[in-house]
Amino acid sequence: MTAEDKDALIGRLYQEKKQLEEDVRLIWARAKEIGSELTTLGYALQERPLEVVFENQEASTVFVSRTSKVFTMKGASLDGLKELTTDLREKTARLEQVKKDLG
């Protein structure tokens, strides 16, 4: 491998590292967001289950007020959570490998 090829490879690895770091940061942020929503939902289910309303769900005003939180749970399906955590593990593993390769 020529010095030029080696420099190009190192450049690509640094670019990949930067992208992976951003991807991992965004996935962590999304996981925290979902976790917070699930925590709030769990509390509501334990303390006020009659007031729990999901997006696009009809609910009587007898049980729900205008101040009731409407849960959207976007991306929080079991399959979505599996995909999120798998993606986080894969990108983190690749990031660690790229860091190792860069020395």
Residue 75's pLDDT band (cuts 50, 70, 90): low
Structure tokens at 94: 């690749």
Q: For the residues 39-60, what does the mean pLDDT come to? A: 91
Q: For the residues 54-75, what does the mean pLDDT come to? A: 83
Please give the mean pLDDT across all residues of the chain. Answer: 92
- For residue 54, the 8-state DSSP code is E
Nearest 5°: the CA angle 63, 38, 66 is 30
Residue 86's pLDDT band (cuts 50, 70, 90): very high
Structure tokens at 67: 């101040």
Count of residues in the chain: 103
Q: For the residues 42-55, what does the mean pLDDT come to? A: 92
pLDDT for res 55: 86
